[in-house]
Structure 1
Amino acid sequence: MVKEKADCIDSGTEYCPCKLAESGECILCSQLQGKCFCDCVNWNGVCIYQEFHDNGMKAKPGRKATTCKVISSELIEENLIMIKFNIPHKLALDLVKPGSYIFIRTDKNHFFDVPISIMNSDIENNIITLVIEVRGVKTKKLKDIKAGGVIVIRGPYWNGIFGRDNILNQKEGNCLVLANGIGLAPMMPVIRKLVSNKNEVDLYIDTSPFKNNFAKEYVEEFGIIPRQTHLIEKGKLSDEGRLIIKNLIKDKNIKLIHLAGADILTYSVIEYLDELDRGDILLSCCNNFKMCCGEGVCGTCTARFSGHRVKRFCKLQGEPRSIFEGRRLI
């Protein structure tokens, strides 16, 4: 029996143990799940139970809200906003990692918190750049943000992508990034990490439903020329997408594919790689589960799997293939 690779994104950080430990729902620690023996799902060099014990059998303080000054707020397309704001240096460092995101609001009411992935964290000038697609009540409030004003953020959070270890461990290889729509924003920290690890990155983007590539300026800083294509057609991977993957696997021996888009893109690529019998190619993808609290408490991000297992995907870090196994598209 092969044990499923799973990890908690907060394990070993200053935010562990969290409220899940108090309620007997820790993702990793068997003893904090109410069992009588020690059998960690994934050892991270820190005993979560010991940390919980030393902290007086209670959770450590969670993320705090921070008020930030807005540098600019630009409507770059209809229903597409780019916001830049100042941030404390430590937060800028924390949010440079692939998969980083924050909760942001302009209203005093905490119900207006909305999770947004980080597009760019400038650690020299302590400036965060976000690109936000306006779709509902919460994001419509963000259209009111003006330069010189303030916003309230809560973070840092890091589980905005699955397969993060595949990205961090990939070095001096050939990688393919397929990005669609608003997924162009969270792909940037991934590209930054892959390039810093001396990987060669081929980037193919499908900007629909938007007109322009709003990430072009940031991509070109890494010397990468994005190629425009059409990735999804009638709910499936397009013929262009299939050809891109097949040819690059053959010509460049691709080691990792990062999928920055909707679940339908990830699911379709996994199916196609299975057709090619290329389960050896590593994957990473966007975490598109709905988020509300970010702490595994509210249940908004949960999904049920075989064996009556409930997984909290705001914290659970896993492989895209295992996460999408047996799931149908939403």
Structure 2
Amino acid sequence: MVKEAIDCIDAGTEYCPCKLAEYGQCLICSQCQGQVFCDCLNWKGVCIYQELHNNGYKAKEGRKTFDCNVEEVINNNNNLIIIKFKAPHKLVLDLVKPGSYIFIRTDDNHYFDIPISIMNSDIENDIISIAVEIRGIKTAKLLNTKANENIVIRGPYWNGVFGIKNILAQNNTKALILARGIGLAPMMPVIRKLLSQNNELQAVLDKDPFNVNFATELLEKYKIKTSENSLLDKGQLSDHAKVIIKDALEDGVTFIHIAGADILTYSVINYLNEINRNDVVLSCCNNFKMCCGEGICGACTSRFSGHRVKRFCKEQADPRNIFEGRRFI
């Protein structure tokens, strides 16, 4: 029997053990799941059960809420808004890593908080930048955001990208970035991390459905090869995208980061299967719905074969595994 590799993004951090451990549903620790033996699925160097015991069998204090001053607001035709705000230095440091996101409060009712990925975390000036696509009732309220006013956020959270261990494993190699739409925002911390590990990057950007590439200002700070092309055609991976991927692989690319909707990730995975390149390492955006960010509410859960339920606001996964064995009913 092969045990599935399971990883919790919060394991071993200052927020561990969390409410899941308190309620006997820890993703990692067998003893926190009510079993009598120690059999951690993915040990992070910290005994979660001991931490729970030392804390009186209660979860540690969760994420805090911050009132932050808005420095700048850029509105693009009321369908995209970029907000830059000043935040506490520790929070800015915590939000540098790939996959970082926060919840933004648009109403007095905290159940209406919106999960938004970090586009840039400037540790020199303590400025956080986010890009929000205006899609519904909650995001539309952000159009009222103005400079020099306060914005209420909750964080930090880190599971906005799947395949983080694959990103961290890339050193002195070649990587391809495929980004589409609002995926250009969470793409930036990934690019920053890959460059810091001395990787050679090529980024292919599809700005659809927007009329501007809102990541241009940040991309100009990095020396990477970029181009703008259509990645999807009528819900399928475009022929041009297939040529780009194939040429990149022939050029020695061994890692692809996909920043976009699930249909883009799914299409790229299928294409790699078609050309027998399952050896290519992947990472992608986490597009699951989120509400509490702590694995309790169930908004992020998905059912898989074998009666498995995964909480994707907490659980890290390889991009290929989030589609394999997934049940849609």
TM-score range, shorter chain: over 0.9
1:329 Cα offset (Å): 8.6
* 2:163 match: 163
* 1:147 match: 147
Contact preservation (8 Å) 2:303, 2:328: no
Q: Does 1:122 align with 2:126?
A: no
| Runs of 4+ deviating beyond 4 Å | none
Cα 1:173/1:305, change in 2 over 3 Å: same
Residue pairs, 1:233-252, within 5 angstroms: 233-251=233-251
Alpha-carbon deviations, 1:58-97, whole Å to 9, x = none? 1000001000001111202331001000000000000000
1:250 Cα offset (Å): 0.6
1:127 Cα offset (Å): 0.2
Q: Which amino acid aligns with 1:72?
A: E
- For this pair of structures, how many residues does the alignment match? 329
SS at match of 1:186: helix
* 1:277 match: 276
* 1:133 match: 133
* 1:17 match: 17
For 1:34 and 1:231, the matched residues in 2 are separated by 47
Q: Which amino acid aligns with 1:154?
A: R
1:328 Cα offset (Å): 7.6
SS at match of 2:147: coil
Contact preservation (8 Å) 2:106, 2:138: no
TM-score by length of structure 1 reads 0.97
When the two chains are superposed, the root-mean-square deviation of aligned CA atoms in Å is 1.3
Q: Which amino acid aligns with 1:120?
A: N
* 1:261 match: 260
* 2:27 match: 27
* 1:49 match: 49
Structure 1 residues without counterparts, runs of 5 or longer: none
For 2:316 and 2:187, the matched residues in 1 are separated by 17
For 1:329 and 1:260, the matched residues in 2 are separated by 23
SS at match of 1:291: coil
TM-score by length of structure 2 reads 0.98
Cα 1:329/1:175, change in 2 over 3 Å: farther
Structure 2 residues without counterparts, runs of 5 or longer: none
Alpha-carbon deviations, 1:125-173, whole Å to 9, x = none? 0000011001111101111110010011000000000000111121110
Contact preservation (8 Å) 2:302, 2:326: no
For 2:204 and 2:2, the matched residues in 1 are separated by 34
1:223 Cα offset (Å): 1.3
1:245 Cα offset (Å): 0.5
* 1:64 match: 64
* 1:230 match: 230
Q: Which amino acid aligns with 2:76?
A: I
SS at match of 1:115: strand
* 1:211 match: 211
For 1:2 and 1:198, the matched residues in 2 are separated by 34
* 1:108 match: 108
For 1:129 and 1:56, the matched residues in 2 are separated by 38
Q: Which amino acid aligns with 2:40?
A: C
Residue pairs, 1:286-297, within 5 angstroms: 286-297=285-296
SS at match of 2:208: coil
* 2:314 match: 315
For 2:20 and 2:275, the matched residues in 1 are separated by 41
SS at match of 2:264: helix
Contact preservation (8 Å) 2:304, 2:327: no
* 1:40 match: 40
For 1:328 and 1:161, the matched residues in 2 are separated by 21
Contact preservation (8 Å) 2:179, 2:205: yes
1:307 Cα offset (Å): 1.2
For 2:295 and 2:327, the matched residues in 1 are separated by 23
Question: Identity of counterpart residues, as a percentage?
Answer: 65
SS at match of 2:91: helix
For 2:176 and 2:327, the matched residues in 1 are separated by 24
SS at match of 1:214: coil
**Which moves more between the two structures, 224-233 or 188-197?**
224-233
* 1:325 match: 324
Q: Does 1:191 align with 2:205?
A: no
1:298 Cα offset (Å): 0.1
1:326 Cα offset (Å): 3.1
* 1:301 match: 300
Contact preservation (8 Å) 2:88, 2:126: yes
For 2:317 and 2:25, the matched residues in 1 are separated by 18
**Which moves more between the two structures, 310-319 or 220-229?**
220-229
1:111 Cα offset (Å): 2.3
Contact preservation (8 Å) 1:120, 1:128: yes
Cα 1:111/1:97, change in 2 over 3 Å: same
Contact preservation (8 Å) 1:5, 1:319: no
1:193 Cα offset (Å): 0.2
